[in-house]
Amino acid sequence: MIQLPEKVRRIINTIMEAGYEAYAVGGCIRDSILGREPDDWDITTSATPGQVKELFSHTIDTGIQHGTVTVMLEREGFEVTTYRIDGKYEDGRHPKEVTFTPSLLEDLKRRDFTINAMAYNDEAGLVDVFGGEDDIKRKVIRCVGEPKERFGEDALRMMRAVRFSGQLGYEIEVNTSKAIRELNHNLIQVSAERIQMELVKLAMSPHPENLRLAYETGITQVILPEFDVCMKTEQKNPHHCYTVGEHILKSMEEIKPEKMLRLAMLFHDIGKPKTLTLDEKGVHHFHGHPAVSAKMARGILKRLKFDNQTIYFVTNLVKYHDYNIKPEPMYVRRAIMKIGEDIFPLLFEVKAADLRAQSTYMRREKEEKLKNVYEVYQQIISERQCVSIKDLAVTGKDLMEEAGMQAGPELGKMLNRLLDFVVEDPSRNEREILLKAVKEFK
């Protein structure tokens, strides 16, 4: 059964001893029933924020206008929120107005899904008014109350439904998914930041392919229409056995759950439909699609307000995912130099996942080649061979002091020229040799 951590029990008991109600609630109860370690324990109470603050020596006003106080116990924080009824949600993380209520039932009613609307304390045991435990058994995501009403209050819940389905491997209950089909357009009002957060959680989940449910219920049509085009684009060539969209879903399943990698797979072929041409035999070709996909990925990531680091990693992985590298040291060094030392190791994961999601046509040969490139790469790294300007045996300062060069663009050009020179043959990476080469190159 549910085991409250000692500190959570202490907080609940302190509140109850003062004459109020208190329960652990929401995700932590769901995860406990599932036998998973909850990320955090949320507490819900009939006490007002002011009353909670009086009971504990150290509290922080986290979201006091929404009823949330963080209780600190030995440097660990626990969110304690007063029972509330939510008004209509505005475009933010919280409802526009909340009303406190003395009723636990009212507080549970405002929660999104039955599996997230259970409460527990040691005295009352599990409070499960909406059949959350049954829905966990049946593996379904079901709205608390009337789905259309609930999605009408907060459109983000539609994405949360798909996200939880991906995290838990559950289906979305029929009426709940029907309501999403009817109300998906409301997602236009939701902020990019909130959509981004849910999309990342779904992409990182054990079932990223459940993005298909977002497509089937019309969610992607609103937040990621480029993906809908992929779902409708066939690939009639020997390399593929799925539509572009299905291949994308499969490739996400095939890669580790890391943010940059999962997002790279989501976008790696996003521009393919734009590059489709047919030859006289009716075979589909997609010339230049990685560059088009990278450009589109950048636009989408910006639209969804992703940070610059994510945009940098994902667009570069997309851009180079199909880059052809010969498994020979000089070519691999050149590729690292061009693609970047930070991107390069991730590129193997992307390429391997892409292959696993393609048809079996020539797969063994392609995988063999990739393995060979990887071995050469490892050799280069273990020998610390020069692949970037910072690895050169001379610095810009050396060129100014020893070769009479001036600071400025010429200096940068020269360093790049030396890098090319060394990448061709690592034994050239010696100070004397390079200073001599500078004189010749000038």
By CB under 6 A, name the binding residues for ligand ATP. 26-27, 39, 42, 111-112, 116-117, 154, 156-157
Task: Compare residues 38 and 340 and give the one whose CB is closer to Mg ion.
Answer: 38
H or E segment at 86?
strand 84-86
Q: Which residues pair with 76 in a beta bridge?
A: 73
Nearest-approach distance from CB 145 to ligand ATP, in angstroms: 11
d(Cα 438, Cα 440) in Å, to the nearest integer? 5
Task: Compare residues 91 and 391 and give the one whose CB is closer to ligand ATP.
Answer: 91
Nearest-approach distance from CB 34 to ligand ATP, in angstroms: 11
- Site residues for Mg ion, 139-158, by CB under 5 A, read none
Q: Which does 55 bind (CB under 5 to 8 A by kind): Mg ion, ligand ATP, none?
A: none
Report residue 265: phi and psi, to 5°.
Answer: -65, -40
Nearest-approach distance from CB 231 to ligand ATP, in angstroms: 27
Nearest-approach distance from CB 81 to ligand ATP, in angstroms: 9
Task: Compare residues 39 and 365 and give the one whose CB is closer to ligand ATP.
Answer: 39
H or E segment at 98?
strand 98-100
The residue among 173, 187, 171 whose CA lies nearest residue 219 is 187
Q: Residue 290: how many CA atoms within 13 Å on its side-chain side? A: 16
Residue with the CB atom nearest Mg ion in the bound state: 27
Nearest-approach distance from CB 197 to ligand ATP, in angstroms: 9
Task: Compare residues 43 and 314 and give the one whose CB is closer to ligand ATP.
Answer: 43
Cα 322 to Cα 181, 293, 325, 347, 395: the distances in Å are 36, 11, 9, 9, 34
Task: Compare residues 27 and 273 and give the one whose CB is closer to Mg ion.
Answer: 27
Task: Compare residues 157 and 321 and give the one whose CB is closer to ligand ATP.
Answer: 157
Exposed e or buried b for every residue in 247-261, given b needs 16+ CB within 10 A?
A: bbbbbbbbbeeeebb
d(Cα 24, Cα 29) in Å, to the nearest integer? 7
The residue among 53, 50, 49, 54 whose CA lies nearest residue 66 is 49
Nearest-approach distance from CB 140 to ligand ATP, in angstroms: 15
Task: Compare residues 6 and 39 and give the one whose CB is closer to ligand ATP.
Answer: 39
H or E segment at 295?
helix 289-303
Task: Compare residues 154 and 246 and give the one whose CB is closer to ligand ATP.
Answer: 154
H or E segment at 172?
strand 171-172
The residue among 150, 116, 148 whose CA lies nearest residue 133 is 116
Q: Which does 365 bind (CB under 5 to 8 A by kind): Mg ion, ligand ATP, none?
A: none
Nearest-approach distance from CB 13 to Mg ion, in angstroms: 22
**Position 245 contacts Mg ion (CB under 5 A):** no
Binding residues for Mg ion, how many (CB under 5 A)? Answer: 1
Report residue 40: phi and psi, to 5°.
Answer: -150, 160
Q: Which does 154 bind (CB under 5 to 8 A by kind): Mg ion, ligand ATP, none?
A: ligand ATP
Task: Compare residues 27 and 49 and give the one whose CB is closer to ligand ATP.
Answer: 27
Residue count of the chain: 442
**Binding marks (x or -) toward Mg ion, 272..311, rule CB under 5 A?**
----------------------------------------
| Strands 68-73 and 140-141, bridge-based pairing | unpaired
Scanning the structure block, which residue is given the tokens 């995988």?
Answer: 367
Q: Give counts: helices (H), strands (E), the chain.
A: 23, 13
The residue among 115, 305, 272, 295 whose CA lies nearest residue 200 is 305
**Binding marks (x or -) toward Mg ion, 10..39, rule CB under 5 A?**
-----------------x------------
Residue with the CB atom nearest ligand ATP in the bound state: 27
Alpha helices (runs of H) in 321-407, residue ranges in sequence order = 329-339, 344-356, 363-382, 396-402
Nearest-approach distance from CB 28 to ligand ATP, in angstroms: 7
Q: Which does 173 bind (CB under 5 to 8 A by kind): Mg ion, ligand ATP, none?
A: none
Chain residues binding Mg ion by CB under 5 A are 27
